[in-house]
Amino acid sequence: MASGYGSDFVDRVRAAVDMVALISETVALKRAGRKFRGLCPFHPEKTPSFHVDDAKGLFYCFGCQAGGDIFKFVMLRENLDFPQAARLLAQKSGIPVPAPRGPDGRPSEREALLAAHRAAAEFFHDLLVKRPEGAAARDYLAARGITGDTIARLQIGYAPDRWDSLKGHLTGKGFDTRLLVTGGLLSTNDERTSTYDRFRGRVIFPIRGVTGEVLGFGGRILGAVEPKYLNSAETPLYNKRENLFGLHETRQAIRDAGEAIVVEGYFDYASLWQAGVPHVVATLGTAFAEEQVALLRRFAGKVVINYDPDAAGASATRRSIELLVSAGLKVRVLRLDGGLDPDEYVRQRGLDDYMARVQAAPRHFDYLLGQAIRGKDLSDYEQKAAALREVIPALAQVPDRIERAGYVNSIAEKLGIDDDLTLAEIRDGVLKTPRPRPADARRSAGPAPAAELSESEARLIRGLLESAEIRNDVLARLGSEDLAGSAIEELFRAVEGLSEAGEDVSWTRLSEVLREPARSLVARLAVRSDPGISRDEALRCVESLRLRRLRRERDLLQKEMEHELSAARLDELLRRKMEVSRQIDSLS
């Protein structure tokens, strides 16, 4: 698994992390013999099929086939790649994180861009809190109720209204201007002959990934210049469709609550979080993208949408509902009164009032139905029909058939439809509408199931990994050709390779060198509770596998003989078949 980190660093992190404690942050584990068991965090289930063997350092779910080591668990839980998971676990364990290196030994472009963004965030923040140039921005933030603690925690900064302040600072630290343009920190003129700061005269909010790395920035202008908000352009680090502002701070609270409150802007997020709302995130635009839905779905199954109470907010709410509901999330909608956005509301009316409104927020369909009938005269048949046409598409999006049937009753009650035939047609039409399938089913993080393996194959692999004596005997007697096409062929080759290279042959090391689905198969074998295999049984397994291979070869030779016209070739095939048959007889 390529990471850009050395094996020493990965091994140090692995040794420092208590696997059971790590997984227990997400799963209620119970001891089952020498192992642990609980409900899988990666797919819905009622009977525990998720197993952890901390002695071998692996987990496996027999329900969704997700399996692996501590790094794989964090990758699945947090939606990270391997380097991100390694950094997260290292930071959690207090282990210094080295800069990943590319094939040439120099820092990768990603690491160089991350370093530039860290330096930029520090520069902006220092200007805001320490320099005279930041006075106007400090006054602006104070007027909006943002405290010094929040400024420090979110590392809010200020970009001075100059063309080259950040450019001069970063190039002075040795960063190349081409890298800074690639990362969206600098812009170029139309002729691409000069570069200048992208962010000027703005309060700056660092946009972080789920592990806390600065990927981009969002800036709010202090004056009356448009655009009011300016975000980083898409770069190798940053894509607004794949990130949610503030998730790095609130992901655990969202997971604990099972629900996220989603707002639109940086100040909405900052004010709610500062006031004591721990499970809030903000979109980096006016509506959800599919990638953001997939990211949020990793942490919660329920969402409260709380966008601004204007026409743009209502339109964004409708689009977001469609994406979230079709992805299987339960959605409620909070529309604040008084024309107030979340930032204004919590500052004027307080946390208790705001949370009471959250608790009372209606389900998404009740909200949409209310929007559909607002301002309509339901005694007028045409207006009633218009309201009905407006909500039917939303009703068809609800994945659960029983829930949809209940909403039909709500329609009948709110619209005053008492015609049984009309209701029957609505119910029949909606219930028969095919449901859209989400691109990524909620918490289905497991790989494709590995090929089925026999009991002898399973026990043989355990012997190879748990006994050096068995491993040496088996490797001396069994060739990879004996396993061609079997479920354990790749595992056997990997064990053989590690052994020949003089490397450690263990469950975790084998897991590291394999790809899916073989890696998941290793985890599956590791958490099994059957007793160890003896040397004699292992050798019987070897004979069984060789016998299976020979019988398969004999059958293929017979089929080839039935279609062979050349006498010489037929004689050659016959001699080979007789030899194979003798070998079969000696093993039977």
Class of domain 368-431: mainly alpha
State what percent of residues in the chain have pLDDT above 90.
38
Give residue 445's pLDDT band: very low, low, confident or very high (50, 70, 90). Answer: very low
pLDDT at 219 > cutoff 50: yes
pLDDT at 256 > cutoff 70: yes
**Which residue in this structure is represented by tokens 């449901």?**
435
Q: Mean pLDDT in the chain?
A: 84
Task: Report the alpha-carbon distance of residue 293 to residue 298 in Å, rounded.
Answer: 9
DSSP category for residue 553: H
CB 259 within 8 A of CB 300: yes
**Which residue in this structure is represented by tokens 């995130």?**
281
pLDDT at 392 > cutoff 80: no
Task: Report the alpha-carbon distance of residue 396 to residue 230 in Å, rounded.
Answer: 37
Q: Structure tokens of 131? A: 């320099």
Full-prediction pTM beyond 0.75? no
pLDDT at 432 > cutoff 70: no
The residues spanned by each domain of the chain are: 7-93, 109-238, 247-361, 368-431, 455-587
Alpha helices in 30-81 (DSSP H): 70-78
Q: Which comes out higher in pLDDT, residue 153 or 549?
A: 153
Q: Which of 175-179, 323-327, 524-528 has the highest mean pLDDT?
A: 175-179
Q: Structure tokens of 322? A: 């469609």
CA angle 224, 230, 233 (to 5 degrees): 155
pLDDT value, residue 446: 45
Q: 7-93 maps to which CATH number?
A: 3.90.580.10
pLDDT tens digits along 307-345: 998 888 888 999 999 899 888 899 999 999 888 999 999
Helix (H/G/I), strand (E/B), else coil: 541? helix
Q: Which comes out higher in pLDDT, residue 138 or 10?
A: 138
Phi, psi (deg, nearest 5) at residue 327: -90, 0
Task: Report the alpha-carbon distance of residue 123 to residue 169 in Å, rounded.
Answer: 8
Task: Report the alpha-carbon distance of residue 400 to residue 24 in Å, rounded.
Answer: 31
DSSP category for residue 245: B
pLDDT at 486 > cutoff 80: no
First to last CA, the chain: 42
Task: Report the alpha-carbon distance of residue 233 to residue 188 in Å, rounded.
Answer: 13
List, in sequence order, every residue forming a beta bridge with 30; answer none if it has no partner. Answer: 37
Q: Does domain 109-238 have CATH number 3.90.79.10?
A: no
Longest alpha-carbon distance in the chain: 98
Q: Which of 374, 459, 350, 363 is nearest to 410 (CA)?
A: 363
Helix (H/G/I), strand (E/B), else coil: 204? strand
Task: Report the alpha-carbon distance of residue 506 to residue 56 in Å, rounded.
Answer: 8
pLDDT at 575 > cutoff 50: yes
- Domain covering 455-587, topology: DNAb Helicase; Chain A (1.10.860)
CB 188 within 8 A of CB 181: yes
Question: Which CATH number is 247-361's, of 3.40.1360.10, 3.40.50.720, 3.40.50.1240, 3.40.140.10?
Answer: 3.40.1360.10
